């Protein structure tokens, strides 16, 4: 019923906009200063105006990234409708990203993500290290919905594009320093230099440190180890790029980056209810547990994670043209090393070593006639080694070879109507070599072939209103269960998942000062990959037969006066399982600690009882609604400009575990308020005061799969930032 209501409301709203007379046309008397400026995006692999792009995409400029305090990918949560991002449990540098209810929790091992992350056109194969502290970005683009044709495998939920600033033909630089509570210290420096007439180089370095906001309070012999500020940040990132123009047509951009992240993983807080004195930021032993002086700590005592991650990469982007045909080549190599360990209850450590190589060639034509088109070939190779000790040691060595060919074209039937069609054929080959926890070994291989495609039409009702409709497909390849602990579960194959998406949308501007973009969609999912506890197997991964997700999204910007702007976004979701087997239902309602936790009073051995109950569960990380309202005010002040920004975010409750239980797995919070005041002097220096979570709301963002522990979101943070440009 809710799904039908969402679709109906979306259809009525969009059709109303489509049939509105041309009052959105330019007004000769309109104040030029109040006009909204154009927004350039590359969602369709070419530069075009956001309002001319028939794709649901959110774009943030350099100024918006700063004003909205987007420090890393996680901070996009408030800026994009129907997105849900949290730090992955157990490591500080990995992200759980869900778009339109589609995502992936697992960050390690032979599991692919569902939302692709691209840094300057380079696909990032692992979510470990994918939070990416924002360093010298020109823009961020978030593409919602399957992007299988132009972006390929593992973009079944969408894609996030991080676009760095290209070296400029000038000598310039900027520096900034930030101080805040929890002993936060952050320093950034960028230098840009012109080398001759056709060459330029750019280097950016960033260091960020901050104490944690958890207090560690062990008892017994460990009482002296009590500590404040657990969960600290300690990150260093450097990026360098060199740009050279061979002539007016051909150019090359070399880039290299390295990130060292020694941040503490998010501390595990013992779940509420285990100890009446426990609060969200206090880590205490469970009742009746005594912490010994050394060795292994009893389960429920406290966590003592350590993490050390290094990520580095190099890339070369060559652009040019053969006559009227545009050509691009992107060659890239990346690697990461990550060590994670703890001594709570059992010996646990995990070492990840991953490297990847990718090559893409594209050729196309745009702006030359009625047909714009692009075609290409893509190759991706990855080697991954995961060495884990969980009471007993076991290891996973996997490799992936993927090759794809793709093409997409848009034909302008006339000045108003355009038709789009695209297709991508992908072949994934995965090899798996594992040694189990009891010394057994197994080798396995899987191959996945997929053809993803898109069909669409867009219609320009007038100069300011564009409507579109499209049908797209996407796929995420299968694999194995790298975080499983049982001999059978580790090597249990996981099949691919596929998604069919139907979408209608509108891009509109009214009186040159109000921009409203909206989309309604309906997704049909087959083979959704789930990580959960399965009776007889323990924690493992499996596929769910069928799932449906419907939703509505709205983004708006209103330039009320020359100085005052309101902006916001809203997303609505209705996600549900629609077809399950008995075994799948039992996997959904179980967790490792409390069988049938999501279906109290149900006999899990009886399909007629457990299947209807499981069908009624909410999909995790898919809140029914989510919205953000923001404001921007600028005014001349002294010898410069004063810039005030703020936003408030609301989100319906959702679950971080598939079982919809226990209670602390529910994500539920009141309004989150952020604000920033900046003075920008005409001579290039600036000072800003900022606050994050000004409402000081305390809430959990995730829970462990065992349901023993929880992971808190940051409390109130505030500070001052001083910068200069020269």
The pLDDT tens digits for 6-59 are 454 444 444 444 444 343 444 444 444 568 889 999 999 999 999 999 999 999
Q: Lowest mean pLDDT: which of 19-33, 288-302, 640-654?
A: 19-33
Q: Is the pLDDT of residue 602 over 60?
A: yes
Mean pLDDT of 81-93: 78
pLDDT tier for residue 286 given thresholds of 50, 70 and 90: low
The structure tokens listed for 543 are 């596929």
* Residue 305 DSSP one-character state: -
Choose which CATH entry (3.40.640.10, 2.60.40.10, 2.40.170.20, 2.40.50.100) describes domain 2-579+618-725: 2.40.170.20
- pLDDT (average), residues 166-181: 97
pLDDT for 481-524, tens place per residue?
766 555 556 667 889 999 999 999 999 999 989 999 999 999 99
User: pLDDT digits over 245-278, tens only?
Assistant: 999 999 999 999 999 998 877 665 555 544 434 5
Instruction: State how far the Cα of 224 lies from the Cα of 50, in Å rounded to an integer.
Output: 58
CA distances from residue 389 to 94, 348, 353, 602 in whole angstroms, order as listed: 20, 5, 15, 36
Average pLDDT score, the chain: 86
Q: Rounded to an integer, what is the distance from CA 201 to the centroid of its chain? A: 29
Q: Answer yes or no: is pLDDT of 587 > 90.
A: no
What would the two tokens of residue 29 be? 């008397």
Q: Report whether pLDDT(130) > 80.
A: no
Which residue, 497, 454, 547, 559, is CA-closest to 55? 454
Q: Are 302 and 284 in contact (CB under 8 A)?
A: yes
In the chain, % of residues over pLDDT 90: 59
Contacts of 482 (CB under 8 A, 6+ apart): 106, 108, 109, 110, 111, 386, 396, 490
Q: Which has more confidence, 219 or 294?
A: 219
Q: Which residues contact 709 (CB under 8 A, 6 or more apart)?
A: 268, 269, 270, 271, 303, 703
Lowest-pLDDT range, 385-394, 402-411, 458-467?
A: 385-394
pLDDT surpasses 50 at 583? yes
For the chain, the structural domain boundaries read: 2-579+618-725
End-to-end Cα spacing for the chain: 59
């Amino acid at each position: 019923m809710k799904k039908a209501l969402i679709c109906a409301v979306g259809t009525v709203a969009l059709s109303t906009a489509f049939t509105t007379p041309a009052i959105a046309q330019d007004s000769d008397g309109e104040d030029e200063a109040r006009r909204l400026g154009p927004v350039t995006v590359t969602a369709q692999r070419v530069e075009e105006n956001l309002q001319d792009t028939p794709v649901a995409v959110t774009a943030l400029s350099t100024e918006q990234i700063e004003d909205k305090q987007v420090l890393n990918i996680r901070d996009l949560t408030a800026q994009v409708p129907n997105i849900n991002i949290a730090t992955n449990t157990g490591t500080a540098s990995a992200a759980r990203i869900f778009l339109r209810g589609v995502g992936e929790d697992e960050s390690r091992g032979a599991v692919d993500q569902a939302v692709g992350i691209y840094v300057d056109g380079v696909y990032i194969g692992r979510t470990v290290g994918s939070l990416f502290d924002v360093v010298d970005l020109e823009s961020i683009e978030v593409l919602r919905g399957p992007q299988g044709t132009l972006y390929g495998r593992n973009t079944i939920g969408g894609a996030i594009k991080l676009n760095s600033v290209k070296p400029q033909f000038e000598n310039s630089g900027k520096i900034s320093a930030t101080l805040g509570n929890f002993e936060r210290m952050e320093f950034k420096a960028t230098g840009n230099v012109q080398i001759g007439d056709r060459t330029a180089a750019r280097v950016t370095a960033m260091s960020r440190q901050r104490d944690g906001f958890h207090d560690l309070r062990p008892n017994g012999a460990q009482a002296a180890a009590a500590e404040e500020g657990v969960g600290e940040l300690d990150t260093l990132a450097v990026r360098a790029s060199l740009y050279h123009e061979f002539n007016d047509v051909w150019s090359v951009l070399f880039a290299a980056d390295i990130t060292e992240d020694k941040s503490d993983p998010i501390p595990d807080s013992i779940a509420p209810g285990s100890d009446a004195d426990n609060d969200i930021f206090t880590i205490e032993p469970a009742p009746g547990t005594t912490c010994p002086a050394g060795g292994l700590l009893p389960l429920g005592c406290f966590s003592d994670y350590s993490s050390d991650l290094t990520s580095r990469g190099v890339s070369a982007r060559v652009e040019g043209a053969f006559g009227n045909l545009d050509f691009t080549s992107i060659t890239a190599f990346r690697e990461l090393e990550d060590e994670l360990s703890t001594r709570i209850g059992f010996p646990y450590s995990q070492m990840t070593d991953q490297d990847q190589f990718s090559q893409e060639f594209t050729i196309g034509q745009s702006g030359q006639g009625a047909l714009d088109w692009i075609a290409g070939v893509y190759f991706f190779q990855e080697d991954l080694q995961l060495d884990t000790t969980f009471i007993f040691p076991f290891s996973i060595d996997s490799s992936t070879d993927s090759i794809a060919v793709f093409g997409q074209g848009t034909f302008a039937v006339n000045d108003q109507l355009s038709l789009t069609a695209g297709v991508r054929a992908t072949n994934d080959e995965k090899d798996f070599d594992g040694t189990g926890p009891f010394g057994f070994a197994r080798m396995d291989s899987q191959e996945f072939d997929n053809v993803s495609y898109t069909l669409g039409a867009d219609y320009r009702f007038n100069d300011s209103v564009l409507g579109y409709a499209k049908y797209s497909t996407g796929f995420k390849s299968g694999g194995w269960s790298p975080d499983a602990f049982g001999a059978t579960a580790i090597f249990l194959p996981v099949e691919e998942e596929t998604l069919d998406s139907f979408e209608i949308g509108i891009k509109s501007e009214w009186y040159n000062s109000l921009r409203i973009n909206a989309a309604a969609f309906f997704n049909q999912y087959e083979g959704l990959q789930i990580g959960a506890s399965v009776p007889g197997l323990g924690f493992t991964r499996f596929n769910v037969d069928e799932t449906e997700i419907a939703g509505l999204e709205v983004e708006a910007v209103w330039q009320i006066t020359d100085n005052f702007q309101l902006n916001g976004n809203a997303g609505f979701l209705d996600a549900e399982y629609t077809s399950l087997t008995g075994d799948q239902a039992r996997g959904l309602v179980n967790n490792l600690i409390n069988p049938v936790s999501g279906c109290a009073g149900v006999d899990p051995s009886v399909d007629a009882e457990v299947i209807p109950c499981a069908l009624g569960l909410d999909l995790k990380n898919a809140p029914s609604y989510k919205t953000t309202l923001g404001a921007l005010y600028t005014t001349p002040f002294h010898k410069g400009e004063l810039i005030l920004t703020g936003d408030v975010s609301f989100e319906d409750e959702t679950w971080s575990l598939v079982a919809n239980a226990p209670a602390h797995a529910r994500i539920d919070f009141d309004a989150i308020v952020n604000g920033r005041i900046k003075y920008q002097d005409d001579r290039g220096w600036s000072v800003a005061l900022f606050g994050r979570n000004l409402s000081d709301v305390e809430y959990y963002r995730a829970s462990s799969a065992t349901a023993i522990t929880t992971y808190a979101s940051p409390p109130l943070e505030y500070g001052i930032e001083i910068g200069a440009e020269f």
